[in-house]
Amino acid sequence: MPCLHWRWGIFYGIMKYKQLLITFALLFLSIVQAAEESYVDQLQKEAERKSLWQQSEWLNLLHYRQPDSSLQVFESSVDDDSFFLSEKGKRDPRLELQATLTALFRGFEDDNRQPQCRFVARFHWLSKQLNIKQSNLPKVECKDYNEWRKLVQSEKVTLIFPAYHLNSPSSMFGHTLLRLDRKESEEWSDWLSFAVNFGANVDNSDNSIAYAYKGLMGGYPGQFVVMPYYKKILEYSRIERRDIWEYELDLIPEEADRLVEHLWELKEVNFDYYFFTENCSYRLLELLEVARPGVGLTAEFKVTAIPVDTVRAVERAGMIKKAEYRPSRETVLQSMIAELDQDERLILGQLIEMPELMDKGHFSKLPEEKQLFLAETAYKLLRFRQNKLVRDDNAAKKSHQLLSIINRYPTGSEQQVSRPVQPEKSHHSKQVAVKVGERDNKSYTELGFRMSFHSLEDNELGFLRGAQINIASIRFRYSEEDTLFLQQLDFADIFSLTPRTEFFDPLSWRVRGGMERVRRDGRDRLVSHISGGGGYAWNLGGDGIVYSLMTARIEAGNSFKTYVEPALGAAAGFLLHNTFGTGRVELASEKFTGGEESTRLEYEQNIVLSRDQAIRLSLKREWVPHEQFSELGLSYNLHF
């Protein structure tokens, strides 16, 4: 210490006062800087010592995947340079962590870009792991983040599952999003909570084929979008006619905070998007993994992430506190119409054409509650019919008339819709089947596997009646004379039976494509095909659906002169739901342009043993030119 005094003494002697001040300031700055540098060094060394970069929290925050877990190879799903602080960050979690530590102590032109403000969850996690002294950090004002947090509060997190709807293949799988709620939600309104949705950010100049193609193949970047929940209610309940399930999660405030902090980091950040794998549902699970470290939700979804399976994963992790059901406007309308008797339905049909009939004699004799109920049903039906249409002045006028009529009555109550089985309680998505049977007097054994999802005859609990969507199923058969061979490979097999009623007139349709073994030119041959059909379906009794379709098929096989031939045909069938299972009988026939014909009468009966197990009986009679024969089979199906 005396040495220092001496040196200051010398300095004082030879320098003017002003110079001294400048030198002193510079010296001070360089000391501080050196101290800071060494502090960052210290932190980096400490991070290395603790192998922080290998911890799942860090890997999750940066969305790293390991294509092969035995190798130390990483790649982030985020496809956006702005998300990484190291140039090599996308593939190097270790460098990214070091770069983040360095950047935390660096000044940025705009505080909002400083990692303390921009990457809040990363910053908080590192602070905690390394005990970073706040006083050593540059002072920043996170204006954008703070404003956003004031708005987007999340004392509660709810997982939202808009359920299936017929006639829309992509919605047949369902969808998931999150909702961030205020604690006092009854004081507030769910409508004003924030929905967190991950989806493809599409290019409006593309046509519909390009949409579908790019959406499925990863051609669009995926992004998180945060918007008021009422927009989602309108989208699903009104436009898409899908019921919504709302699962309140048991996240504690600290976990919910972490989720929202991380969500902020993903603002306007591009991800890879694939419809089947790294889709909306997969990304939400990642968010929940960030919220609750160690919960391990994504591990099982290596190939497909079917939304309902991701709900099941969340349920298995014990995170669901309770489920609420929000019926779509169509569901409410259907349940109201179901309460009307034949005469009342007649009145309903007249009311939507001429609302002024409400003031006429026979109507005003009905009890007051019935009048109100009919007027409300008529209004909902009229609006339902206008759905997806351009505004129609006439319908608008009638709608307004009906509202004015509804307004004459005292306040009524909400229509109570009975709650269906929760979708996550349905049978699992994958299926294996073992079948024994006989075809044309020769016995066979068959093994089948289906990637997903649900057939018309499968256990219906938790699904929509009449909706079938199967992706990737394969069956191998071993017959007594042949060896093992491929019997059938379906890429997709979608069947949508939507019954028509006096007030609704939807189309029913099906489409299937792949390879199958069929009788052509005297023997069973493997052919490739795309088959489809369209037509109508009607309810028959409470549990039956009868349908008839015009069908078409394009088939490629060696028995044809031209290799590929189209065919036209027709199909009619009956689907019956019983307490013990579902059965279907169908008669189908088609004729190819080259003259080949085929007619089949089939009966399939599913007998449900448990949620995931069933016995399936199948009988079939086939007629082809010059021969006819039968096939029967009995199979055991297990969903998992």
Partner 1 sequence: MKKVIGSVIGGVVLMTASSAAMAAAAGGPNCGWGNLLFKGSKGIPSHVVAVTTNGTSGNNTFGITSGTNGCDASGTLTYGGRDMVQVSAILDEFSEDVARGHGEALNAIAVMIGVERSDRELFADVMHENFAAIFPDENVTAKEAMVSVNELMKTNGQLSKYAV
Which residues 129-188 are close enough to bind partner 1 by CB under 8 A? Answer: 147-148, 150-152, 167-171, 175, 186-188
- C-beta closer to partner 1: residue 512 or 519: 512
Region of 160 on the Ramachandran plot (φ > 0 left; ψ -120 to 50 alpha; else beta): beta
In a 13 Å sphere around the CA of 277, the CA atoms on its Cβ side amount to 10
- One of 70, 208, 418, 579 touching partner 1 (CB under 8 A): 208
Q: Which amino acid is at 121?
A: A
Taking the complex as a whole, how short is the minimal distance between the CB of residue 209 and partner 1, in angstroms?
6
Residue 485 binding partner 1, by CB under 8 A: no
Of residues 57 and 265, the one with the C-beta less far from partner 1: 265
| Residue 228 or 625 having the CB closest to partner 1 | 228
* Nearest approach, Cβ of residue 404 and partner 1 (Å): 7
- The residue count for binding partner 1 (CB under 8 A) is 102
Q: Which is nearer to partner 1, 399 or 459 (CB)?
A: 399
Stretch that binds partner 1, among 98-106, 252-260, 395-403, 420-428 (CB under 8 A): 395-403
Would you give the DSSP letter of residue 267?
B
Question: Does the protein bind partner 1 through residue 348 (CB under 8 A)?
Answer: no
For 528, the 3-state DSSP assignment is: strand
Pick the closer one to partner 1 by CB: 194 or 444.
Answer: 194
Q: How far apart are the C-alpha atoms of 543 and 574, rounded to whole Å? A: 11
Binding mask 514-543 for partner 1 (x = CB under 8 A): x---------------x-x-----------
List 22, 26, 396, 421, residue binding partner 1 (CB under 8 A): 396
Q: Which of 329, 368, 366 is nearest to 344 (CA)?
A: 366
Nearer to partner 1, 228 or 253 (CB): 228
Verify binding: residue 245, partner 1, rule CB under 8 A: no
Nearest approach, Cβ of 627 to partner 1 (angstroms)? 31
Q: Which residue number, 132 or 306, has a Cβ lying nearer to partner 1?
A: 306
Segment contacting partner 1 (CB under 8 A): 114-122, 222-230, 582-590, 622-630?
A: 222-230
Is 66 a binder of partner 1 (CB under 8 A)? no
Q: Is 494 in the site for partner 1 (CB under 8 A)?
A: yes
Does position 212 interact with partner 1 (CB under 8 A)? The reply is: yes
Taking the complex as a whole, the smallest distance from the CB of residue 228 to partner 1 amounts, in Å, to 6
Q: How far apart are CA 170 and CA 300, in angstroms?
A: 22
- Shortest distance, CB of residue 315 to partner 1, whole angstroms? 21
Q: On the CB side of 214, how many CA atoms lie within 13 Å of its CA? A: 17
Residues in CB range of 132: below 8 A, 6 or more apart: 43, 104, 126
Query: How many other C-beta atoms are found inside a 10 Å radius of the C-beta of residue 2?
Result: 6
Instruction: Decide whether 40 or 263 has the Cβ nearer to partner 1.
Output: 263
| Cα 491 to Cα 53, 193, 419, distances in angstroms | 41, 40, 34
Contact between 279 and partner 1 (CB under 8 A)?
yes
Q: Which is nearer to partner 1, 211 or 603 (CB)?
A: 211
Please identify which residue in the block is written with the tokens 């996240």. Answer: 251
CA–CA separation, 159 and 251 (whole Å): 11
Minimum CB–partner distance for residue 327 and partner 1 (Å): 12
What ranges in 251-406 are assigned the alpha helix state H? 253-265, 280-291, 307-316, 329-338, 342-353, 361-364, 368-386, 393-406
CA distance 336 to 31: 78
Cα separation, 431 vs 635, in Å, equals 12
Helix (H) or strand (E) holding 42: helix 17-49
- Nearest approach in angstroms of CB 521 to partner 1 is 27
Taking CB under 8 A as the criterion, which residues in 460-479 touch partner 1? 471-472
Q: How far apart are CA 469 and CA 103, in angstroms?
A: 49
What number of other Cβ atoms are within 10 A of residue 532's Cβ? 16
Q: Minimum distance between the CB of residue 462 and partner 1, rounded to whole angstroms?
A: 21
Q: Give the residue with the Cβ less far from partner 1, 511 or 585.
A: 511
**Which residues between 428 and 467 bind partner 1 (CB under 8 A)?**
451
Q: Per CB under 8 A, which of residues 364..383 are in contact with partner 1? A: 376, 379, 383
Shortest Å distance, C-beta 383 to partner 1: 6
**Whole-angstrom distance, CA of residue 122 vs CA of residue 55:** 13
When the beta carbons of 52 and 284 are compared against partner 1, the nearer one is 284
Binding region for partner 1 (CB under 8 A) out of 95-103, 287-295, 352-360, 401-409: 401-409
Q: Does 498 bind partner 1 (CB under 8 A)?
A: no
Integer Cα distance of 185 and 161 in angstroms: 19
Please report, as residue ranges, which positions from 34 to 63 form the binding site for partner 1 (by CB under 8 A).
none
Helix axis angle for 120-130 and 253-265, nearest 10°, is 120
What single-letter amino acid sits at 639?
A: H
Q: Which of residues 23, 30, 404, 593 is near partner 1 by CB under 8 A?
A: 404
25-33, 79-87, 216-224, 515-523 -> range binding partner 1 (CB under 8 A): 216-224
Among 14, 209, 299, 338, binds partner 1 (CB under 8 A): 209
Residues in the chain: 640
Contacts of 515 (CB under 8 A, 6+ apart): 486, 488, 489, 526, 527, 528, 529
| Shortest reach from residue 365's CB to partner 1, in Å | 23
Nearest Cα to Cα of residue 7 among 27, 30, 36, 35: 27
- Using CB under 8 A, which residues numbered 288 to 317 contact partner 1? 302-303
Among 35, 73, 346, 403, binds partner 1 (CB under 8 A): 403
Q: Quick one: which of 391, 240, 416 has its CA closest to 330?
A: 240
- Closest CB to partner 1 among 101 and 375? 375
